[in-house]
């Protein structure tokens, strides 16, 4: 298990920010700032309405575009939802699943994720599964119990040979949008634990699966987090809204590849 077997991965989650027009402008600026041949995989996660414009703006580059959510069924009477085939038709590469804001405000459940993760894979989308504990759970010593439950349940219906195609983002809820970044040691411990959980299903998948850290990652703190042995990248919220900030984080990841 070496870092060069797992390509570093940075993903920017725009949440409910940016119109299609703003997305086009952002894409141009980002491409102009990215170091060429940097060895880092990069994805942007815009709102549904800006997916097509972001894809168009990034056209011809290697930057991937992920949705922020997806329904588990291919079609149906689910007003307001979007399915995997709809995303695939647009040219979207994957989707965030189980982001804590979806769990907290929109009742996303581990039970639904058990269907969503394999549905994304079967449709040809890369699922980026988000997991993480609340501050109360951490203080009560419940972090591992929570992560075990979230990871095992969401991956239960993923066949062993597809486990390493899931990207997992460890995002402690107390660190998201708060400016309270986890220490590199805390993030390494939790991510090492998540990798071991995947290892309970398949040792090979545990070596290959990419596990990212998310929670107040910024250009100034990215390098020390990304230097941890089990941390394969970062899911970046607020700091990704500025193409300069995201490009700086990509540079921090690229510096560790060399
Ligand atoms: C996120 O939205 O997944 C996130 C980690 O946000 P922030 O970087 O703003 O904490």
Query: What DSSP character marks residue 35?
Result: P
Distance CA 157, CA 179 (A): 35
- The model's pLDDT over 6-24, given as tens digits with 9 standing for 90+, comes to 999 999 999 999 999 999 9
Selected catalytic residue, list 71, 99, 101, 137: 99
At CB < 8 A and 24+ separation, what contacts does 56-61 make?
56/24, 56/27, 57/23, 57/24, 57/25, 57/26, 57/27, 57/28, 58/27, 58/30, 58/31, 61/31, 61/34
| Number of domain units in the chain | 1
Q: Which domain holds residue 153?
A: 3-254
**Looking at residue 35, what is its pLDDT?**
78
Query: What DSSP character marks residue 126?
Result: E
The DSSP string of 63-91 is -EEEES--BSSSS-S-TT--BHHHHHHHT
Atom of ligand 1 nearest to the CA of 238: 9
Residue located nearest, by CA, to atom 3 of ligand 1: 237
Distance CA 112, CA 114 (A): 5
Give SS3 for 161. Answer: helix
**Looking at residue 257, what is its pLDDT?**
81
Find out whether the beta carbon of 237 lies less than 6 Å from any atom of ligand 1.
yes
Question: Of 34, 8, 25, 16, which is closest to residue 244 (Cα–Cα)?
Answer: 34
Find out whether the beta carbon of 8 lies less than 6 Å from any atom of ligand 1.
no
CATH at residue 223: 3.20.20.70
Q: Model pTM?
A: 0.96
Ligand 1 centroid distance, CA of 98 (Å): 13
- Please say if 171 is a catalytic residue: yes
Atom of ligand 1 nearest to the CA of 175: 10
**Looking at residue 51, what is its pLDDT?**
98
In the predicted model, residues of the chain with pLDDT beneath 70 are 1-4, 258
Distance CA 195, CA 97 (A): 18
- The model's pLDDT over 47-103, given as tens digits with 9 standing for 90+, comes to 999 999 999 999 989 999 999 999 999 999 999 999 999 999 999 999 999 999 999
**Looking at residue 258, what is its pLDDT?**
59
Distances, alpha carbon 98 to alpha carbons 7, 67, 104, 105, in Å: 23, 12, 10, 11
Give SS3 for 42. Answer: strand
**Looking at residue 60, what is its pLDDT?**
82
Find out whether the beta carbon of 43 lies less than 6 Å from any atom of ligand 1.
no
Distances, alpha carbon 68 to alpha carbons 36, 58, 108, 205, 248, in Å: 27, 18, 12, 24, 23
């Amino acid at each position: 298990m070496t870092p060069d077997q797992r390509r570093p991965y940075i993903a920017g989650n725009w949440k409910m920010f940016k119109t299609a027009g703003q997305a086009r402008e952002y894409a141009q600026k980002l491409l102009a700032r990215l170091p060429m041949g940097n060895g880092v995989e990069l994805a942007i996660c815009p709102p549904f309405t800006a997916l097509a414009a972001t894809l168009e703006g990034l056209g011809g580059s290697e930057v991937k575009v992920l949705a922020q959510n997806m329904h588990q069924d291919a079609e149906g009477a689910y007003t307001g939802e979007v399915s995997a085939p709809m995303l695939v038709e647009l040219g979207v590469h994957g989707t965030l699943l189980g982001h804590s804001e979806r769990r907290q405000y929109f009742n996303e459940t581990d039970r639904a994720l058990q269907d969503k993760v394999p549905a994304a894979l079967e449709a040809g989308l890369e699922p980026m599964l988000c997991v993480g504990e609340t501050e109360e759970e951490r203080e009560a010593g419940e972090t591992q119990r929570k992560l075990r439950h979230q990871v095992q349940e969401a991956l239960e219906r993923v066949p062993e040979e597809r486990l390493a195609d899931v990207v997992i983002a460890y995002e402690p809820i107390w660190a998201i949008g708060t400016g309270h970044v986890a220490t590199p040691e805390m993030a390494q411990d939790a991510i090492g634990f998540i990798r071991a959980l995947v290892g309970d299903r398949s040792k090979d998948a545990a070596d290959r699966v990419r596990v990212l850290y998310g929670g107040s990652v910024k250009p100034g703190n990215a390098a020390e987090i990304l230097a941890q042995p089990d941390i394969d990248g970062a899911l970046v919220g607020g700091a990704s809204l500025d193409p300069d900030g995201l490009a700086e984080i990509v540079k921090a990841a690229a510096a560790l590849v060399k």
